[in-house]
Amino acid sequence: MVSLNKETINLLLNKLADALIEQSEFILVENQKDLERMPESDPKYDRLKLTEQRIKDIAADVKNVALLNSPLGDLIHEKTLPNNLNIKKVRVPLGVVGVIYEARPNVTVDVFALCFKTGNVAVLKGGSDAEYSNAAICKVIQEVLAKHQINPNVLTLLPADRSATEALLNAVNDVDVLIPRGSQSLINYVRENSKIPVIETGAGIVHTFFDASANLEKGQLIIANAKTRRVSVCNALDCVLIHQERTKDIATLLSPLAEKEVEIYADERSYATLKDNYPESLLHQAQPEHFGTEFLSLKLAVKVVNDVNEALDHIATYSSKHSEAIISEDAENIALFLNQVDAAAVYANVSTAFTDGAQFGLGAEIGISTQKLHARGPMALEELTSYKWLVTGDGQVRNP
């Protein structure tokens, strides 16, 4: 991989984008086989489903990756010491990147494109829910690789059975890093059982705080978009916190959600306001377990808080450190929120739906890291590199 030049890499990525569209009918037929095995009510159904437009969007992301500058070989730091040693710190591939993921066939393409662009080999272990879809996409990718005289095994798709997961978790010396992408239970399992270094891409338990000074129209748009744009993704909104001074506006603020048939689990104060102003069949009294839940469906928790500090405390208690937002016109509260919230992405007056590698201008993403070591937030090209030190001299030796 490290012997391929950037022109060859970009050419292949563009050819792959074209091939995905050309072979979309084949991919959709195989995807349908997976969809037939999953009930539409399953939160993962939407993630699994491919359409002609989604394949076009995936192909467009591949072309975007091709357009981006590769970080490989970038000079991070250089200095010459008093003894004339020249020291450079340069970006290099991680090596062999293993990814374990669930019913997200688009991940197959994203991971390959990002790994290939950064000189990494990709070893994929998809879930059985997407077995046919992943195999079809990998077939297209490997055909393009072979056509351009590149070893097709720079992308390897492991069998969908559990034994392959166990083999990957124990592939010491063969795999350099492992990235789980999926439910919290999957991530926990990989973290607890892997003998390979793990980069976590955590679940998204996402909050938005509607402050006392917040603009009502902005709030309606942001909350509706964050909750209903696509409910099965990790940046979807799970809990709205509302300042007590805006209790009278709760019904208006959340009215667009009724049109989308969003079920609301409201705390005592918000329930009192909503009970005569929100569809009865969609309104429920919140229980403790509704806070700190990633719903992945048309469900939302709502809570009234006394002030920004209570909102911050609530988020600190329940956040998965993925994406959090404040809607406010108070510069001091915005600054406080942005500074104090501990999450990979923190927003002010913006929908959390933007937590996405492509939306951040990164081309695509291999996942949203919620940990703090090595990478955080959308992981794209730079996050798939490490670095090494290049030291050159002219016969220098170290004194005792």
What mean pLDDT comes out for the span 281-295? 96
Specify if 75 maps to a domain: yes
The answer to whether residues 258 and 114 belong to one domain is no
Specify if 86 maps to a domain: yes
For position 203, what pLDDT does the model report? 77
* Contact between residue 291 and residue 318 where contact means Cβ atoms under 8 Å apart: yes
The answer to whether residues 184 and 91 belong to one domain is yes
Specify if 60 maps to a domain: yes
The answer to whether residues 388 and 308 belong to one domain is no
* Contact between residue 181 and residue 361 where contact means Cβ atoms under 8 Å apart: no
Measured N-to-C along each axis, helices 331-340 and 308-318 cross at an angle, to the nearest 10 degrees, of 20
| pLDDT exceeds 90 at position 374 | no
Rounded Cα–Cα distance for residues 293 and 283 (Å): 17
pLDDT tens per residue, range 145-159? 999 999 999 999 999
The answer to whether residues 305 and 344 belong to one domain is yes
Query: Which one-letter DSSP state was computed for residue 70?
Result: P
For position 172, what pLDDT does the model report? 96
The answer to whether residues 119 and 219 belong to one domain is no
For position 366, what pLDDT does the model report? 83
Query: Which one-letter DSSP state was computed for residue 159?
Result: P
The answer to whether residues 375 and 258 belong to one domain is no
The answer to whether residues 377 and 329 belong to one domain is no
Specify if 377 maps to a domain: yes
The token pair that represents 287 in the structure block: 């229980």
β-strand partners of 326: 209, 348
Specify if 399 maps to a domain: no
The answer to whether residues 76 and 130 belong to one domain is yes
What mean pLDDT comes out for the span 51-61? 95
What mean pLDDT comes out for the span 167-190? 91
β-strand partners of 325: 208, 347
Q: What is the number of structural domains in the chain? A: 2
- 124: pLDDT confidence band, cut at 50, 70 and 90? very high
* Contact between residue 316 and residue 342 where contact means Cβ atoms under 8 Å apart: yes
Rounded Cα–Cα distance for residues 54 and 48 (Å): 11
Instruction: Quote the domain boundaries for residue 270.
Output: 206-354
The long-range contacts involving 214-217, CB below 8 angstroms and separated by at least 24 positions, are: 214/243, 214/246, 214/327, 214/328, 214/329, 215/327, 215/329, 216/249, 216/252, 216/253
Q: Maximum CA pair distance of the chain?
A: 84
Specify if 1 maps to a domain: no
The answer to whether residues 223 and 117 belong to one domain is no
Report the percentage of the chain scoring pLDDT > 90.
83
| pLDDT exceeds 80 at position 279 | yes
The domain spanning residue 268 has which CATH number? 3.40.309.10
What mean pLDDT comes out for the span 297-309? 97
| pLDDT exceeds 90 at position 370 | no
- 51: pLDDT confidence band, cut at 50, 70 and 90? very high
* Strand 206-210 with 323-327, pairing: parallel
pLDDT tens per residue, range 5-36? 999 999 999 999 999 999 999 999 999 999 99
- 233: pLDDT confidence band, cut at 50, 70 and 90? confident
The token pair that represents 64 in the structure block: 């975007």
Cα–Cα nearest to 95, from 59, 123, 134, 126: 123
Query: Which one-letter DSSP state was computed for residue 198?
Result: B
| pLDDT exceeds 90 at position 206 | yes
Specify if 397 maps to a domain: no
For position 293, what pLDDT does the model report? 93
Sign of CA dihedral 339, 343, 348, 354: positive
Specify if 51 maps to a domain: yes
β-strand partners of 283: 264
The answer to whether residues 350 and 225 belong to one domain is yes
Side-chain-side CA neighbours of residue 118 (13 Å): 32
| pLDDT exceeds 90 at position 41 | no
The answer to whether residues 211 and 101 belong to one domain is no
- 232: pLDDT confidence band, cut at 50, 70 and 90? confident
What mean pLDDT comes out for the span 303-330? 97
For position 349, what pLDDT does the model report? 98
pLDDT tens per residue, range 245-261? 999 999 999 999 999 99
For position 298, what pLDDT does the model report? 95
* Contact between residue 366 and residue 380 where contact means Cβ atoms under 8 Å apart: yes
The answer to whether residues 340 and 254 belong to one domain is yes
| pLDDT exceeds 80 at position 277 | yes
* Contact between residue 240 and residue 254 where contact means Cβ atoms under 8 Å apart: yes
What mean pLDDT comes out for the span 300-329? 97
